[in-house]
Each structure stands twice: as C-alpha cells, then as structure tokens.
Amino acid sequence: MHKSLAKGTSLITNSERLTIVRIEDLYVVNVYLPDTSTAGRAEIVLDICCHIESYVNFHNNRYVIIGGDFNLKFINGTSCCQDLNSFIMDNDLCVCDSKFSNGPGYTHWRLVTVPRGLIIL
C-alpha cells in the first residue's frame, strides 16, 4: 500500500468468512461463503449479508468493492440465491458478468451517476 493511503486505512472487521477494509472513501469487502453441502448455508449467507450492510455505508457517496468466493450460481432458485439477490437489490448492485465478456469473470457491479461499487468474483 502506498504511504499516502496508510493514514486513511482501517480494518473494519476480519473473520473466517468476512473481511472489510476501508481505504479513505473505499470499502474493500472479501467474502467466503460455504458451498452447497454445508449445513445451515442459508443462515450463513444471510448473516454475512447483514454484517456487510451493518459495516458498509452504501448510500453515503462511498465506493464499494465486494469480491471473494460466493460458491453459488446467480440464478433464481439455486441455493441461497434469493437472500443474495435481495442484498444486491437492496444495495443497488447489479449482475455484471455479461458486462465484461473478455474480462476476468466479474460477477456483479454497481454503476451510478459516479461509479461507486463493484462485486468481483
């Protein structure tokens, strides 16, 4: 990290499945969701989404990058997809894998008047 950013950088939370770092007006969120064979998966997904919402201010001109391993397909009807879809909709995020056909495989992005959020998987 460049020295000029170190002063404005803080670790918001760090756990087994969720890490959030704030670098000035940018939140960098890394998630690791369990695979479909994990008991209680739906509750874990919902809990992580709630934690992200409690730590990250999506509506105050903040930039947000969310990445990690979601271990699911973003198709309605698959395991836990509805909870994650609600999280995406509630925070004005949208699917972006079709936006980068030759890219590295991003799955979600957010575009507003000034681009502020991106979910990278």
What residue ranges in the chain does DSSP mark as E strands?
9-14, 18-23, 26-32, 63-69, 94-95, 108-110, 117-120
Q: Does residue 6 surpass a pLDDT of 70?
A: yes
Q: What is the pTM of this model?
A: 0.72
Q: For residue range 71-83, what is the model confidence (pLDDT) as tens digits? A: 876 664 444 567 8
| Number of domains making up the chain | 1
- What is the residue range of 22's domain? 3-120
User: What tokens were used for 25?
Assistant: 């007006």
Q: For residue range 88-121, what is the model confidence (pLDDT) as tens digits? A: 888 887 655 544 455 544 455 555 555 555 555 4
Q: How far apart are CA 109 and CA 117, in angstroms?
A: 6
Of 9-13, 32-36, 110-114, least confident by mean pLDDT is 110-114
Q: How far apart are CA 52 and CA 39, in angstroms?
A: 21
Give SS3 for 90.
Answer: helix
Q: What is the mean pLDDT of residues 9-16?
A: 94
pLDDT of residue 87: 85
